[in-house]
Each structure stands twice: as structure tokens, then as C-alpha cells.
């Protein structure tokens, strides 16, 4: 019998090693081995995930400190609550009113007993937001992406997608069981080549999947160019606007509005787990396509409907979006200020979206840096392999409308100090 190698608890041991090692292990061995890895992180106070938050989502939150066991206040720069709706008084009041009127849930799927007046009203308002004929609700953003492509794609069809597309879209392609091809991120010429090649032999429909705002780098798809390319090649463009809805465009209607393309994208998918700070997702498209998906999207047919209070909170969020336009404007101002501040420190950041990535130098201990951010009361998310390639690890900064300039200055000060410490440590090692 082969001996199971002992866990090597060094600083360089990461999930890549676990994945490679686990290929030869059965599930019990894999879980035991991974448990040792997690224990090593906890012992070195490097367990940066699943921190316990004890307050409402806002610009400042209370977090249970794993070292002391005490609760402390931290500035939140790791939340997709971009407009601060999670703790908005009007949103909370509307959610509470929905509980009183509709109860906590419906106990069934939308095609049976899970379709209330709230659900239909939200669909109509989302369709209007995206300039579409109709919209449909899903139990999660993940379910929306999976259900969209698996419901549309059929034998003879092919899917082409950006290499940075979300895992949910790729899982939907797997469920659909159709040939698929990815192109390098935002490489329009590579997309053109794939469309020209596949158009020659494809006997069905061609679908192209891109995102409006990409979650890891915070960059935008060249949407107008891609749409024109799809139209000229007879391909249907599917836009994942999860991070764009509520953040992009003068009114926060999304990435299509940002490019002046509202109503021009054939299919737009979105989620409620970012700007609206709850859960759920949607697809907005033509009425015939939406009606078709209601019966052929398995993640829609076989999932319980969103609870009415959740639906009410999204409706309330849309009210805030319409009536408090200064929130979107403030978000854009905060993004511009944060991006300018980071560029002055030498970072390359875009500044068009509220996601600002901080690439980690190859010689920086990302877990040690994450611990230092925590110690300084700054809550940021460290993105390690396998969420990104091993040479592209980074911290992801999420900017909210509720942040103050003082908050952003404090973040910048922490970044400058942590990067300086890393540079000193590297010089000493050399």
C-alpha cells in the first residue's frame, strides 16, 4: 500500500499542489489532505476566507477577529453592494412589507404556484431597464447563466465565448452538450476568426457569450464591436451583465447603456447578488425567446421561485436607482477618485468600473499581505489560484457609492505600506 504523503505546511503550499496531488486520491484521502491544508492556514493566521461578519453590509462592518475572538470594525472594500442598497431604509421597509403581505416564500416553481404579482412586476421592470420585450427570474445568477445557454443551445448549434467567462456559463455549455470554443480575453480578431470558421460548417445557431464587466480585472468588453461582428456573421450575442447592472451607464442601467446600446443586445443576463445585494438572477430578451426558456430551461422549471420579500427588495432597489440618481453618480466619482489615487501609487487600473484589481508581484506573500490588510482594518478579497492563473493572483478592490474619500485614502495608505514592506522584504532576501 502506498503511504499518503504528509501535508507540507510551508508558505508555498497552495491549492494547485492539492489539486495535482488529489488526482491520485480517493475522496476520503482528498478531504483529509485538504483538512490538513486548512489547519495549516489557521495556525499561521492566513485563513482569509469565510470571515464572520456580524453587522449589516455597509461601508463599515463588524468582523470576528480569528486571532483574538473579538469583534472589530473594518472598512468594507470586498463587497459587490455597489450602491449601498443592502442596508437602505426604503429597501428594508419594502422587504418587510412584502413579508407581511406575501409571507416568507411560495413553496413551488414559477410554472406552478410560484408566480406572484410581485414576480411579474419585477420581470416587466427589468425588461424596461434593459430595453427588452420581456424578462424572467431565476433563483440565482448561477441558475440564470446555466439555464440560459443550456435552454437555448441545441444539436447542431455551437457556442463561442470569452476565455474569462464565468464558470456558470461554461457549466451551462457542458449541460447543453454542444461544441464550444473560447477566444482569448477581449480578442476581437480571434473571435472574428472563430465565427468565420464555424459559420462555414455550423448547421444550427451560433451563440457568442461575453460579459459586460469582467469580475476579476474590472475591465469592459468592447461591446459595440462585438455586437456588430455578431450581427454581420449571423450569431446571437449573449451578454452577462452581472456586474454592469446598477453600476454602468449614466442611469446605472448597465453596460449596454454605457455604450449607447440599450435594447440592441439580443439577450442580457443579470444577477441580484451584486448591486441589489440579495440573491437571484434574470434573463431579458424578446418575448418569444423568454416564453421558450420558461419551458426549456431546467434551472428555471425545476427550481423554487424567489421568495416574495427578495423580489420586493429588488423592486425597491430599482425605485432607488430611479429616484436617487446621485447614488450612481457618487459611485462613478468614487471609482474615478480611487483609480486616480492608485495610479499615483504606480498601479495600472482602468477606472471605468467599481472593480479595481491589484496584481500581486511574484515575490509577494499574498496570504501575509492579506493578514496585514486585516490587521489594519481593511476588508479586501485576496484572489488566489485556482480562481485565477497562478501568475495572476491579486487583491480585488470593490468600490461602493457609500465610501467616503477618507475611506479611500485609508485604503490607499494601507496598500502603500504593505507594498513597501514587501519590497523591503524582497530586497533583504536578495
Q: What is the pLDDT of residues 124-141, one digit of tens each?
A: 999 999 999 999 999 999
Which residues of the chain does CATH 3.90.1150.10 include? 60-76+325-429
Query: CATH 3.40.640.10: which residues of the chain?
Result: 89-322
Q: Residue 384: pLDDT above 90?
A: no
2 versus 162: the higher-pLDDT residue is 162
Query: Distance between CA atoms of 325 and 329, rounded to whole angstroms?
Result: 7
Q: CATH second-level architecture of 60-76+325-429? A: Alpha-Beta Complex (3.90)
Give catalytic status of residue 154 as yes or no: no
Catalytic residue among 88, 119, 130, 166: 166
Question: In the prediction, which pLDDT does 21 show?
Answer: 60
Using the predicted structure, report yes or no on whether residue 11 has a pLDDT greater than 70.
no
Class of domain 89-322: alpha beta
| Percent with pLDDT over 90 in the chain | 78
pLDDT of 286: 98
Q: Which of 240, 241, 384, 407 is catalytic?
A: 240
Catalytic: which of 139, 150, 215, 398?
215
pLDDT at 90 over 90: yes
Which one is catalytic: 88, 130, 274, 332? 274
Q: Report pTM.
A: 0.90
pLDDT of residue 190: 98
- Asked about 332 being catalytic, the answer comes back as no
> Pick the catalytic residue: 119, 182, 243, 258?
243
Q: Examine the residue annotation and report whether 211 is marked as an active-site residue of this protein.
A: yes
Active site residue 79: no
240 among known catalytic residues: yes
Amino acid at each position: 500500500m502506498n503511504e499518503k504523503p504528509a501535508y507540507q505546511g510551508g508558505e508555498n503550499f497552495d491549492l494547485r499542489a492539492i489539486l495535482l496531488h488529489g488526482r491520485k486520491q480517493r475522496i476520503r484521502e482528498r478531504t483529509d489532505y485538504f483538512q490538513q491544508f486548512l489547519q495549516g492556514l489557521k495556525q499561521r493566521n492566513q485563513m482569509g476566507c469565510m470571515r464572520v461578519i456580524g453587522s449589516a453590509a455597509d461601508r463599515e462592518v463588524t468582523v470576528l477577529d480569528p486571532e483574538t475572538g473579538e469583534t472589530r470594525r473594518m472598512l468594507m472594500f470586498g463587497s459587490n453592494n455597489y450602491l449601498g442598497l443592502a442596508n437602505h431604509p426604503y429597501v428594508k421597509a419594502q422587504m418587510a412589507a412584502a413579508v407581511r403581505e406575501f409571507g416568507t416564500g411560495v413553496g413551488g416553481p414559477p410554472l406552478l404556484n410560484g408566480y406572484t404579482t410581485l414576480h411579474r412586476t419585477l420581470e416587466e421592470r427589468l425588461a424596461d431597464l434593459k430595453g427588452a420585450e420581456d424578462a424572467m427570474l431565476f433563483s440565482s445568477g448561477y441558475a440564470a447563466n446555466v439555464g440560459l445557454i443550456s435552454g437555448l443551445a441545441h444539436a447542431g448549434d455551437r457556442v463561442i465565448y470569452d476565455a474569462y467567462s464565468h464558470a456558470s456559463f461554461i457549466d451551462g455549455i457542458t449541460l447543453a452538450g454542444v461544441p464550444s470554443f473560447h477566444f482569448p480575453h477581449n480578442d476581437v480578431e480571434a473571435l472574428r476568426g472563430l465565427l468565420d470558421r464555424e459559420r462555414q460548417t455550423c448547421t444550427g445557431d451560433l451563440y457568442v457569450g461575453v460579459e459586460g464587466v469582467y469580475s476579476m480585472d474590472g475591465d469592459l468588453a468592447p461591446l459595440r464591436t462585438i455586437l456588430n461582428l455578431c450581427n454581420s456573421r449571423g450569431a446571437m450575442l449573449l451578454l452577462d451583465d452581472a456586474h454592469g447592472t446598477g453600476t454602468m451607464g449614466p442611469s446605472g442601467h448597465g453596460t449596454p447603456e454605457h455604450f449607447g446600446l440599450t435594447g440592441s443586445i439580443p439577450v442580457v443576463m443579470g444577477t441580484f447578488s451584486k448591486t441589489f445585494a440579495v440573491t437571484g438572477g434574470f434573463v431579458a430578451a424578446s418575448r418569444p425567446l423568454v416564453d421558450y426558456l420558461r419551458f426549456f430551461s431546467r434551472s428555471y422549471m425545476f427550481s423554487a421561485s424567489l421568495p416574495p420579500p427578495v423580489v420586493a427588495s429588488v423592486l425597491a432597489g430599482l425605485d432607488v436607482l430611479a429616484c436617487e440618481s446621485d447614488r450612481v453618480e457618487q459611485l462613478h466619482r468614487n471609482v474615478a477618485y480611487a483609480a486616480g489615487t492608485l495610479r499615483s501609487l504606480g498601479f495600472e487600473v482602468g477606472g471605468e468600473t467599481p472593480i479595481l484589481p491589484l496584481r500581486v508581484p511574484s515575490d509577494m506573500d499574498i496570504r501575509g499581505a492579506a493578514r496585514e490588510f486585516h490587521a489594519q482594518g481593511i476588508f479586501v478579497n485576496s484572489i488566489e489560484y485556482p480562481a485565477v492563473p497562478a501568475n495572476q493572483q491579486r487583491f480585488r478592490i470593490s468600490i461602493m457609492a457609500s465610501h467616503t474619500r477618507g475611506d479611500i485614502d485609508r485604503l490607499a495608505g494601507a496598500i502603500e505600506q504593505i507594498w513597501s514592506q514587501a519590497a523591503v522584504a524582497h530586497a533583504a532576501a536578495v
